[in-house]
Amino acid sequence: MKRKLGVLVLVALVALLAATPALAAGPGEGKGFQHKEGGPLGGRQARQAFALVGVITALDSNTITIQVYHSNRIVQSSIGQELTVQLTGSTRYRQWTADGCIPASFDAVQVGDTASIMGRVSDGAYVAERVTVDVPLLGALK
């Protein structure tokens, strides 16, 4: 009986020691997330999600420039400034209506529109995944 207990304890100890490096990495590390000190982990660079609301000040087929009024922490330093966001073939467009958002196309996007943009920061560039136009700014414009 003592011998079986000793073997079980030894097996548990070996399993714990084998798992220690994986547990020390913490959640997300080693899965392509950005390390706190900067350098990519797992051979892939982190892609941070951003969200912002503002007024479109310039537009072409590849980019939208927007005066940022509200944003998440990723874009917070750009509040009150213009930010250029890249558009891709996979960018989705929506239009805000009183009845809710409806699908739209790039043609619905105009300079002067209020817009909400969600996307990812990739290699230092802001890349739009979704652009919603005609969103209410809820008192941001004064």
Structure confidence at residue 13 (pLDDT): 43
pLDDT, mean of residues 47-68: 95
Structure confidence at residue 16 (pLDDT): 44
61-102 pLDDT tens trace: 999 999 999 999 999 999 999 999 999 999 999 999 999 999
6-43 pLDDT tens trace: 444 444 444 444 444 444 444 444 444 444 444 443 33
User: What is the residue whose two structure tokens read 């919603």?
Assistant: 132
What does CATH list as the number for 48-133?
2.40.50.320
The helix (H) or strand (E) run that includes residue 2 is helix 2-25
Q: Rounded to the nearest 5°, which phi and psi values hold at 16?
A: -65, -45
C-beta neighbour count of 16 within 10 angstroms: 10
CA pair distance 115, 110, nearest whole angstrom: 10
The answer to whether residue 55 scores a pLDDT higher than 70 is yes
123-138 pLDDT tens trace: 889 999 999 999 988 7
Number of helices (H), then strands (E), in the chain: 1, 9
Domain boundaries, the chain: 2-40, 48-133
Structure confidence at residue 138 (pLDDT): 73
Structure confidence at residue 2 (pLDDT): 55
Structure confidence at residue 4 (pLDDT): 52
